[in-house]
Every structure is written in C-alpha cells, then in structure tokens.
Amino acid sequence: MSIAQMKENMSRHAGFIAALDQSGGSTPGALRHYGIPDTAYSNDAEMFALMHQMRVRVITSPAFTGKKIIAAILFEQTMNGLVEGVPTPTYLWKERGVVPFLKVDKGLEAEADGVQMMKPIPGLDVLLEHAARLGIYGTKARSVIRLPEPAGVAAIVQQQFALAQQIAAHGLVPILEPEVLIKSPDKAGAEALLHAELRRGLEALPGEYQVMLKVSIPEKPDLYLDLVNHPRVQRVVALSGGYPRDEACRRLAANHGMIASFSRALLEELRYQMTDEQFNQALAASIDEIYKASSQKV
C-alpha cells in the first residue's frame, strides 16, 4: 500500500470521511435503526457479525468509492474482518481507493470538570503495530466536552495530544476527536476554549508529524479556519454529532476547508429490509449531499 498516495489523498483530495466505527454500547442502537431488532442476536459475537454484514453492504455499494469518500474509520473487528475474502483495509484501498483508519479508544470515563476523558487503552502499542501491518493509515480517538470548564477542556486536549504522540511513533496519523456535545448548555463557549487549547497544543507539538482534528461543527462558522491552515494539521473534519443530515450539511457548508466525517448522518436512511437497488440509491444520495457540503462552501 502506498503511504505517499494515501497522504496525498488525505491532504488534498475533495471528499469526506465515512465513520463506520460504531462499537460496544452504540452497536445495538445502530442495528435497531438499520431495522435489526435486539431479538435477532443472542450474544455479542452474533451482534458484531450482523454489524459487520451491514458495513460490508455499505463498503461494497457502487457509490462507496474514492471519488467522493477519501477515507473510512473502522472498528477493530471490522479491520480484522474480510470483505469479499479480502482484509477490510486492503479492500478499501485496493478496490475502492478509500484510505483506512482505525478507532482506538475504549470508551469514556465518568464526567469530571464538565468533560469525559478517554479510558485507558491497554495493549495500544500491540494494536498499532497490528494495524500498521494491515495497511491502516491512521487512527481516531474520541473524548467529550459538555461544559466550558477551562480545567476540563485543557485536560481533554492534553490527553489527546499525548495519545497522538504515541500513535505517531508507529508511523500512523492520529485523528484527535474532542467532541463538544451539540446539547451543551454553552456550546459556543466550550468551542472557544477548545479552539484555544488545540492551537496551544499544535504550537507545542514535538517532532515533525502531522495530526488531524475531528470536531463538532462550530456555532461560529470558520472558527477552526486557522487550524485548517496550520502546517501540523493534515485535515480538519467535522462529526455530525446527532444533527439530522440536512442540518449537519447546512452547518458544514458554512465552514471553509472543513470536510465531513459523518456516521449517523451518512447512514440514517439505510434499512436492512431495502432491496440492493433501494439501498444503493439511498446511500448514493446521502454521499452526494455530504460531498457537496464538504466541497462547496457558502
């Protein structure tokens, strides 16, 4: 796999990132939304098998190509699974021209100082070595900000940058995802604090590696434009955060240089019961709408 070509795609190509990394507690809800009830499986293995089938259906759809989707974020079991008999990362890059990323966080701690830090990630170095061998280009790790508490926001960002350094040591590109909840009582205030801390962290970043930033679509358009243009930032991407796709796309289109990394908003109209033709048409329409918001700004 060509790391240089992957970097070129991630740095310059138009398009967006498909977040296919629902895991753990979010999987049953994602399956229910897709039309598969809890009664369809009796244990975690069966649940994750059904989730993998859903993701394979998405990845193998004719609309899911590097023309409009430059990357996909995978759950660990999806990375280790097969698509048409080929390891998922290999299939994405070789057959679809889509750069593979891996979600590495293991969930969130209880809230303190208005934020939820990431739980420890045991065995991370072993996982990163394995991911690199499979052709994974980068990683994503999520933490959450609910309130504009300076100490909490600073701690979140420090944890994210410390993890990024560990990941970059394996030759992978880390996506830092400090999500500001869209239901925060002061979302704009939390985002202002986050922006300042991210800027500070980038200025102090050791080495020469680049990172990516995944943030909630800000209340103030172009809040992160200076970070989009920062030499240590490969890309700034936006999560949908629970907004319906039309609203997420409308908000995203007001932020220059920012592209989507949507999960729920990408998949919201897909259902297990659809025919392949219906499924592919719905996914293509979703991809077109998100691509437009990522590449055509107002």
Provide the annotated active-site residues.
177, 214
Amino acid at 154: A
Residue that has been written with the tokens 């989009």 in this structure: 228
Torsion of CA 42, 46, 52, 58, to 10 degrees: -40
Q: What are phi and psi of 261, to 5 degrees?
A: -135, 75
The SS3 of residue 25 is helix
Cα angle 123-129-131, degrees, rounded to a multiple of 5: 100
Write out the E strands in the chain.
16-20, 69-74, 82-83, 86-87, 99-103, 115-116, 138-145, 173-180, 211-216, 233-239, 259-262
247: CB partners within 8 A, 6+ apart: none
Angle between helices 44-59 and 27-34 (to 10 degrees): 60
Half-sphere exposure for 92 (CA within 13 Å, toward CB): 31
Write out the E strands in 5-125.
16-20, 69-74, 82-83, 86-87, 99-103, 115-116
**Residues 59/83, Cβ–Cβ less than 8 Å:** yes
Q: Distance (Å, rounded) from C-alpha 45 to C-alpha 146?
A: 33
214: CB partners within 8 A, 6+ apart: 140, 142, 175, 176, 177, 179, 236, 237, 238, 239, 261
